[in-house]
Chain A
Amino acid sequence: MNAMTHNEIPVPEGHEQELRAEGLNTSAIHQIGEAGISLSQVTKRYGDSTVVDEIDLVIEPGEFMTFLGPSGSGKTTTLNMIAGFTSVTEGHLHIYGKPVAKLPPHKRDIGMVFQNYALFPHKTVAENIAYPLQRRKIGKEQQKQMVADALAMVRMGDYGDRYPSELSGGQQQRVALARALVYEPRVLLMDEPLGALDKKLREWLQGEIKRIHREVGSTFVYVTHDQEEALSMSDRIAVFNNGRIEQVGTSEDLYEAPQTLFVGRFLGESTVLLGKGVRDGDRRTAIEVAGHRVVADGHSAHEDLAILIRPENLRLETAGTPAGAHENSIPVTITDVTYLGASRRYSVRLPDGTEGAVRLGQDARIHNRGDEVAMMWSIASGVLLVNTGEAGESTT
């Protein structure tokens, strides 16, 4: 088991020869050596179609990294390349400093959890969990102890003798998690593990997975198309779109400072104003939305621009209320009001006909459907982005 302790610092020297043979320079080797998982220029092509396009990504040891994106964005293909189920067409792939692009899956020291659980139906729960231990030639007595510990970790201690078909989906997935972690792999890959479960169970298991991540300290890579799941679980999120990574960052980074319109729209709710941009002084850019001028901080070399504002940064005032010195104001019509308990969510129609969303707390003035009001926000809370003309609709 010594080879599988978690917290040992990866030693790049051990693989230096191999890395040099791949034509990498010293600083690149150093970076790879420090990383849990490192992808550089990783590409997957099937014939003429490029599914994953020159991805660069460094996942830190012990990090909880989520691959988020719509279906067909390349996130699962990337995960399968890390696992070894899909071959890498081009690029370098390293796990704890070791080049693995040409290694078969069983030599990569990874754990994997699948959406459909993939428990062996002809083995009991305990036999399923003992399977990776047998492959590692661990003694029978120690196996028993490790299986028991793993079952305790996922709170399934009493189910060792059951067959997978006798368990519910949530229980099966917990067994799958125990099976993937019992041999303490340094990397755990999860492919939409909660996709087949209902909402309540999913939320509870999200908490369980986070707890287990803290306990075992392995590097977790989690694939999901559910942005709420990604926001609530991850240390960092890589947002995939069309085979590329749009942005990598913490939940806060992505939500508050999206770098592309796709990321801004895919994560959480937003109101987006589109228009042609013109410079407005040294620091600001103005855009025209159906005759109304609004400004945002920053400059862009592009002409087609967007300003993205989060619903909680917007407020609604009676038409004619003057805007503050550092605020934008634009007239909108309320098309729907949803009572959410602690807040109200207003759907509004912007002057150019597009829809926006505003969330107001309990103490805000209540408006009604059909009201024509002024929508205001502080200039600093609007994010200036390039309008790529791509609809990044959130899936939830």
Chain B
Amino acid sequence: MVSKRILGVFSALIVVWLIVPTLVIIPMSFNEASSFNFPPKGFSTRWYENFFTDPSWLQALGSSLQVAILTMIVATAVGVLAALGLSKVRFRGKGLMEGYFLLPLIVPGIVLAVGLYSLFLRLDLLGTLPGFVLAHTIVSMPLVITNVMASLQGLDPRLEQASASLGAGRVRTFFSITLPLIAPGVTAGALFAFVTSFDEVILSLFIQSPSLQTLPVKIFNSVTQTNDPTVAAVAVITMLTSVIVMLIAQFATRKRKRPVA
């Protein structure tokens, strides 16, 4: 019993340790004084007002959403195709190929960032929307691939054979049978891709230009250059967006509990 209690306390400590640094930002965002304070002095929503009235913040939010949505679309489309290829086609070096696709998760972000910077410099992609989307797709696609591959593993290959025997070609079979059955994995992958792009800092710092900054970049610049508590409000908004999207992802994978006979 004693050991069980100790384990409980330890677990609680870990949970608190994981979440407190994140939660500290919430009271700070309602601070009245125009500096970072914890505990906050007084209550006000002026930093939220500031965020929603300052065009530079809103522009950053708009850029972030634009990049995240485009990244989600590109990463999902390419990731689903890659996952299909990896799980359906037998070829030499398939294991290596799988590892290769997951590489961006393992390689340190800063290495990737420096590499991309020099490449984009040459290709004139720095500070451009396609540049951001390309960069974010690199780090988001592995999440799409892993999620979709997991879904495909649970899919009975006989269902696709049945569809073929009933007169459906490959494309028809994909849209009528395969895609609906792996939809939870695709949805989860897409939302992960969105969140990854929306939160991405390292690559974005290297690719940014004064004209195109995503929200995390703007936060970083603001914290290092000014002492504007609006950052706290922005951080809370970013956090809420991510949490909501992740909850949707959870919900999507849990839906459709119908057993695949």
Contact = CB atoms under 8 A, between A and B. Distances in A.
Interface in A116-150: 116-122, 131-132, 135-136
A112 B167 CA distance: 11
Q: Contact size class for A?
A: 20 to 34
A83 B165 contact: yes
A84 B164 contact: yes
B160 to A, nearest CB: 9
A122 B162 contact: no
B158 A114 contact: yes
B256 A118 contact: no
A137 B172 CA distance: 13
B166 A180 contact: yes
B167 A183 contact: yes
A121 B258 contact: yes
A118 B181 CA distance: 13
B44 interface: no
A118 B164 contact: no
A120 B177 contact: yes
B168 interface: yes
A85 B159 CA distance: 12
Interface string B164-188: 1111111010001100110000000
Interface in B107-138: none
B260 interface: yes
A164 B256 CA distance: 14
Contacts of A5: none
B261 A104 contact: no
A189 B165 CA distance: 10
A165 B259 contact: yes
Interface string A150-180: 0000000000000111000000100000011
B177 A118 contact: no
A117 B167 contact: no
B22 interface: no
A121 B172 CA distance: 17
A163 B256 CA distance: 12
B167 A118 contact: no
A121 B181 contact: yes
Given A118-B158, A120-B159, A122-B180, A105 B165 contact: yes
B161 A114 contact: yes
A3 to B, nearest CB: 12
A106 B164 contact: yes
B177 to A, nearest CB: 6
Contacts of B167: 106, 109, 132, 135-136, 183
A180 B165 contact: yes
Contact of A135 (B166, B170, B256, B260): B166
A164 B261 contact: yes
A140 to B, nearest CB: 17
A135 B173 CA distance: 10
A110 interface: yes
B37 interface: no
Nearest to A83: B165
B156 interface: yes
A121 B176 CA distance: 12
Contact of A118 (B161, B172, B180, B259): B161
Contact of A116 (B168, B170, B261): B261
Nearest to A131: B166
Interface in B195-217: none
Contact of B165 (A112, A117, A122): A112
Contact of A122 (B156, B163, B166, B258): B258
- Closest A-B pairs by Cβ, 10 of them: A112-B165, A135-B167, A132-B166, A105-B164, A118-B162, A118-B158, A106-B164, A121-B260, A122-B180, A106-B167
15 contacts: A85-B164, A104-B169, A104-B170, A106-B165, A111-B166, A112-B161, A114-B162, A118-B161, A118-B162, A120-B163, A120-B177, A131-B163, A131-B166, A164-B261, A165-B258
